[in-house]
Structure 1
Amino acid sequence: MSPDFLRPVRPMIAGIVSVFAVAAAHAESTHGIAMYGDPALPPDFVSLPYVNADAPKGGKVVFGNTGGYNSLNPFVQKGTSPWQLRFWTHESLMGRSWDEPFTLYGLLAESVETAPDRSWVEFTLRENARFSDGSPVTVEDVIWSYETLGTEGHLRYRGLWGKIDSIEQTGPRSVRITFNDPDRELALIAGMRPILQKAQWEGKDFADAPLQDIPLGSGPYVIDGYEAGRYVNLRRNPNYWGADIPFRRGTMNLDEMRIEFYGDGTVAFEAFKAGELSAVREFNADKWNNQYDFPAVQRGDVLKTEIPHRKPSGMTGFVMNTRKPPFDDWRVREALTLAFNFEFINDTVTGSAQPRITSYFSGSDLAMQPGTATGQVAELLQPYADTLLPGTLEGYELPVGDGSERNRANLRKATKLLQEAGWTVQDGVLRNADGEAFIVDMVISQGSLNVVQNVGTIAEIYARTLERLGIELTVEKIDDAQYTSRMDAHDFDMTPFRRALSLSPGNEQRLYWGSENADTAGTRNLMGVQSLAVDGLIDTMLASESHEDFVSATRALDRVLTAGRYVIPIWSFDVGRIAHARELKQPETLPIYGDGPEYMPQVWWYEE
């Protein structure tokens, strides 16, 4: 895009009036926007329904991350940054309510307009919106942020840029984005892009900036100290511009938040028990029930809080790299899934306290239904029937073991599938026709402990089972920087995997499973899915004009992904579990999404 195109427009007064007159004929400025229908909250809402609007400000908390970091810029592909930063230090034009499937309300923008077909969206900035240095957030900053993130930013931001036909200033504080793709969700995605300050990066390389070049944001918190790889300290900005807008009221209440980094989850848990951390999220139900009885809990200094939700399970487990043989053969992937003795592993690791994930959207209305595909789901799948794997149309269920360690019946089925795929046991070793041994290289990192708890124990049990098939499982434990490099280069056979999914799946599905990015370095399509059905169903889902059509398309997509056998699923997190210092309080009303990055600590507060 040329500099002339991006230069702020300086129209005559009559031109501005003309633009607004045309816009008014087709759209109406509103305080929020929903994927389907109207926002649940009225224009004069006081605060989000799941916050305490009168929550006190103050207090200091310390959280623990595993691994380390070598960047404080969460918006670029290079390096590893603390995941919390983009939620605490930066803001977008609109903010998401986690009590609705997909609705945005004004944040940096005071209002939003769209065309009836959502071919364009226009945002009007709040007059008092400011960066943390006190400078105003301008339309020029907005346009620069969209282009820069779309061309030099992290891959998660680049997809939108290719769907923007034009972006232009339409008034002193307004900007219009016109799309080249008939996709209703684009107007909402545009509202969620982080806004950075253009002036900060003049003469600097945004994509390759050093650690000390910390992106300036407009969010409630600023970084006021750090030591590379060891800690990051953030303080609430006393001059934060948005403290009183409805979307922010009752949120971001803590004065100081510090992130300490630990070598692994065990060390971090010991630090929490010793009172060095203020809160931890626990993903293992058995550990929650049996290891949270230390003295601070018994005294009441540490409280255990469970937070239910109504969101999809998402997918957690071990992903296979289908870009390389033999994992490009669905029969091999099914055999490896059969060999994963879930019932025995679940009993050993969690005491069978957590149910298994059954599909990508299990636990929600978007999940594929059991049995043969029927109705609109079957109609949507039919054009791709020749490319679909067994089980997609007729119904696919994960293998169920007998609960014993031997798991003989499933191993017999696995052996048969491996033989069909050209693998036979020779002198106790599974080999192909060329005599090559079947070796599975599982790559894990310090950060993997946050993805799959007890990953070492799971891998050990799995290795013993695979050995009975003549397969060798090797486990490579590497640091986070090496792990990122390996994943970017697709240099792995199997690795721990977690993909959280929402009640409003949209364009991010292309990043997760779309063919276009399957072979791109750093892609989020970690398994390398390349499927006409997946691509087509994502397009159908995004073009849906009714909630019913949207649900059918998502259920069809869920079938294709699940029957693809790309991930060996483990247990679902059917309830959020947070252990925390008793001084940390949370609202009584819970959002439908339950716990998540936008819940704790954002809506919690500190009270002696």
Structure 2
Amino acid sequence: MTVLTRRLLPLAAALLMLAQAAQAAPQHAMTLYGEPPRYSANFKHFGYVNPDAPKGGTLRLSGNGNFDSFNPFINKGVAEENIGLIYETLTYQSPDEPFTIYGLLAERMERASDHSWVRFHLNPKARFHDGQPVTAEDVKFSFETLTTKGHPHYRSYYADVETVEVEAPLVVRFNFKHGGNRELPLILGQLTVLPKHWWAERDFESGNLEPPLGSGPYRIARLNAKQSVRYEKVADWWGADLPVNRGMYNFDTIRVDYYLDGGVALEAFKAGQFDYRLEMSAKNWATAYDTPALKAGKLVKVELKNHNPSGMQGFVFNIRRAQFQDPRVREAIGLLFDFEWANRSLFYGAYTRSQSYFDNSELASSGLPDKDELKILEPLREQLPPRVFTEEYRSPKTDGSGIIREQQRRAFQLFQQAGWRVENDRMLDAEGKPVEIEFLLVQTEFERVLLPFKRNLQDLGITLNIRRVDTSQYVNRIRSRDYDMLVGGFGQSSTPGNEQIGYWHSSSADSPGSRNFIGLKDPAIDSLVEQLINADSRKKLVTHTRALDRALLWGHYVVPNWHIDTWRVAYWDHLQRPERTPLYDVGLHTWWMKPEAKEPANTAAEAAPSAAPEQ
């Protein structure tokens, strides 16, 4: 070793330490792959808000079904849909960027260069609604409580966290079991922080209607159990002037009335009983809003561009059931759904048939696997369906006439290959049992979609029983996996990651309440999910997602439904919204009431006696 070399080694080590320190310097924002965030450290507000929006008034919303709990974190009860308004998370995920987080409860954050830990520095101004400061102990308590007593989702979502350290009263660090999971620091920023002192005297696992303590913009002011709830803006809310909150949460009051029937809710909206509706029915959108109020401009209909991947909605097979374990059976049943007829006759041509679990994005697979995808798929060739490598997946297509003889012939051939047969006009499975399928349903509107599907199945001797239940029964049966088929959705973001474990990984298949509705336990898919999560660049993330997409599609685990690339929004004209909508959200909480608008009258539900004290 030369003298020059010996002199350079300490200098190189020092430079390396400086580089690592620079990478771990506290930041106002964090992105998935270290790219610059859209908004700089001194930004005043997001570009999709009106920072001078008028404050005040009441936003009236509707809820679906009913609720019996204010605890959305446990696998018990039906939580009120808007309870997140009372809470804050460590960071705020910008709906204007694929995956960027900005400081909220944590004003600064830093992560290791090898992604083996993340540290959050809490804002000293952060307070719960009772005036107590939000501390690192609260963060640690929240994480440990959610992962030990909360919904099983949290255990899988945060499974790679080894330890949580309180380094100072306002500094907390999460240490990971291994490096490489670039998403984990960001998703820990999504952690809802609960007040340790408040929960010390309560049973976290018992869902009830006691209004919880939070640190968010609203608190629960009044409720009528299972029917309505009123949130009121916290007058001295600590976070009102943060850049991430400026122009947000402009209403003094948010009131939610619950409706057991979707048709009744629609009529209530048109009668002016609530202010805003996100329409999910193509038929309603095409025919139900032609009212004098719409013609007079008092009721507004608008379609807002949705830049999110559409995800996959479909008729989901529960492959825990023996009759659905053969992929030929699942493919055959899928052939009997006539989307083209439904789109023309029921949906007014509004939808596109889904061809991917990541439609409406660059993440969707198409054509045959390219060389980069093949590098991922080839080691798993023996475990994957052969057509992953030889065919482009396309959902079955009919001529829309309602006559699907060709599809029925192909389905019958697949049933025969699986050992099924028809005797006395009844389809018998491989064990000689008549085939009956129970389709669990909570959405009334889907019955008209399922009835033609039922007839097509009946033509081949298969009985489809549509079992519609109320919200509570539905939730309980989903959690206990007590269904044959159901309408399921697998929402996706522009940056898929740890949530894929809860959708497809073996570790979530037997976890009550996980979103592994299918019951997937497939080593090849496990490997594809794990590789996706550990992708170290956007390019690799896209490639791994496309590879996973192919495996899921050719497994025929769902009968793909349809998607649309807009949000269909209707609202009364006393509401006003910013000129620009964020790319990945409707942005409802950036809206405001026009100053000249009259305060809407209370409904009967709002006037009912309160089941909880005023706070």
Both structures adopt the same fold (TM-score exceeding 0.5): yes
Q: 1:393 to 1:467 in 2, by over 3 A?
A: same
Using the alignment, how far apart are the partners of 2:331 and 2:380 within structure 1?
A: 21
Corresponding residue number in structure 1 for 2:547: 556
Kindly provide the CA deviation profile for residues 367-399 of structure 1, in whole angstroms up to 9, marking residues without a partner as x. Answer: 1022x2111111111111111124322221111
Deviations 1:47-91, CA, capped at 9 Å, x for gaps: 1121111111111121112211111111111111122212x1111
For residues 348 and 187 of structure 1, the distance between their equivalents in structure 2, rounded to whole angstroms, comes to 47
Q: Which of 370, 373, 381 is 2:369 aligned to?
A: 373
Moved more, 50-59 or 183-192: 50-59
- Cα 1:545–1:398 shift into 2, 3 Å: same
Q: Which residue in the other structure is 1:179 paired with?
A: 176
Q: Give structure 1 stretches of 5+ with no counterpart.
A: 1-19
Which of 322, 332, 347 is the aligned partner of 1:350? 347
Q: For the structure 1 residues 236 and 153, does the alpha-carbon distance in structure 2 shift closer, same or farther, using more than 3 Å as the test? A: same
- Please list the CA deviations of residues 220-243 of structure 1 after superposition, one character each: whole Å capped at 9, or x if unmatched: 011111122111111111111101
Q: Tell me, yes or no, if structure 1 residue 387 matches structure 2 residue 374.
A: no
2:263 alignment partner AA? T
Secondary structure of the residue aligned to 2:525 is helix
Letter in 1 for 2:130: D
Alignment of 1:238-257 (within 5 A): 238-257=235-254
Answer yes or no: is the 8 Å Cα contact 2:364–2:546 preserved in 1. Answer: yes
Matched, 1:91 2:88: yes
TM-aligned CA distance change 1:40 to 1:362, over 3 Å: same
Provide the secondary structure at the position in 2 that maps to 1:399: coil
Distance in 2, matches of 1:501 and 1:147, equals: 27
Counterpart for residue 464 of structure 1: 455
Q: Does 1:581 align with 2:572?
A: yes
**Aligned position for 2:118:** 121
Map of 1:405-424 to 2, 5 A cutoff?
405-424=402-421
Is the 8 Å Cα contact of residues 196 and 215 (structure 1) preserved in structure 2? Answer: no
Out of 106-115 and 475-484, give the one that drifted further: 475-484
SS in 2 for 1:205: coil
* Residue in structure 2 matched with residue 17 of structure 1 by the alignment: none
Shift of 1:135: 1.4
Q: Offset at 1:435?
A: 2.7
In the alignment, is residue 34 of structure 1 matched against residue 31 of structure 2?
A: yes
Matched to 1:494, the amino acid is M
Distance 2:334 2:484 in 1: 14
Q: Is the 8 A contact 1:120 1:187 kept in 2?
A: yes
| Partners of 2:332 and 2:412 within 8 A in 1 | yes
Instruction: Give 2:600's aligned residue.
Output: none
What residue in structure 1 maps to residue 300 of structure 2?
303
2:379 maps to amino acid: P
* Letter of the structure 1 residue corresponding to residue 38 of structure 2: A
Counterpart mapping for 1:204-223 below 5 A: 204-212=202-210, 214-223=211-220
Tell me by how many angstroms 1:216 deviates.
1.4
Moved >6 Å (runs of 4+): 20-23
| RMSD value, Cα | 1.7
What letter corresponds to residue 129 of structure 1 in structure 2?
A
If the length of structure 1 is used for normalisation, what is the TM-score? 0.92
Name the aligned partner's letter for residue 527 of structure 1. Answer: I
Match of 2:12 in 1: none
The 3-state SS of whatever aligns with 2:503 is helix
Aligned to 1:479: 470
Matches within 5 A, 1:83-232: 83-86=81-84, 88-182=85-179, 183-212=181-210, 214-232=211-229
Corresponding residue SS for 2:346 = helix
One-letter code aligned to 1:537: L
- 1:405-459 CA deviation, whole Å, 9 max, x = no partner? 12111111111001111111111110124331111100112xx35xxxx201011
Which residue in 2 is equivalent to 1:16?
A: none
1:203 to partner: Cα distance: 3.3
Alignment of 1:528-543 (within 5 A): 528-543=519-534
Q: Which residue of 2 aligns with 1:572?
A: 563
- Distance between the aligned counterparts of 2:148 and 2:124, measured in 1? 28
The offset of 1:330, in angstroms, is: 0.6
Distance 1:511 1:181 in 2: 20
Change in CA separation of 1:388 and 1:23 when aligned onto 2, cut-off 3 Å: closer
CA–CA distance in structure 1, aligned partners of residues 215 and 19 of structure 2:
32
The residue type paired with residue 382 of structure 1 is: E
Q: Is the 2:303–2:568 Cα contact (8 Å) retained in structure 1?
A: yes
Counterpart of 2:80 in structure 1 is 82
Counterparts of 1:322 and 1:290, CA distance in 2: 38
Which deviations, in whole Å up to 9, do the C-alpha atoms of 1:169-200 show, x marking residues without a partner? 22231111111033111101111110000011
Q: Is the 8 A contact 2:68 2:208 kept in 1?
A: no
Residue type matched to 1:590 in 2?
T
In structure 2, what is the Cα distance between the partners aligned to 1:280 and 1:293?
Answer: 15
One-letter identity of the residue aligned with 2:375? E
Partner of 1:592: 583
**Conservation of the 8 A alpha-carbon contact between 1:583 and 1:606:** yes
In the alignment, the residues of structure 1 paired with residue 112 and residue 239 of structure 2 have an alpha-carbon distance, to the nearest angstrom, of 28
Deviations 1:65-123 (A, max 9, x none): 2211111111111111122212x111111100011110000000110011111111111
TM-score, normalised by the number of residues in structure 2: 0.91
Q: CA deviation at 1:499?
A: 2.0
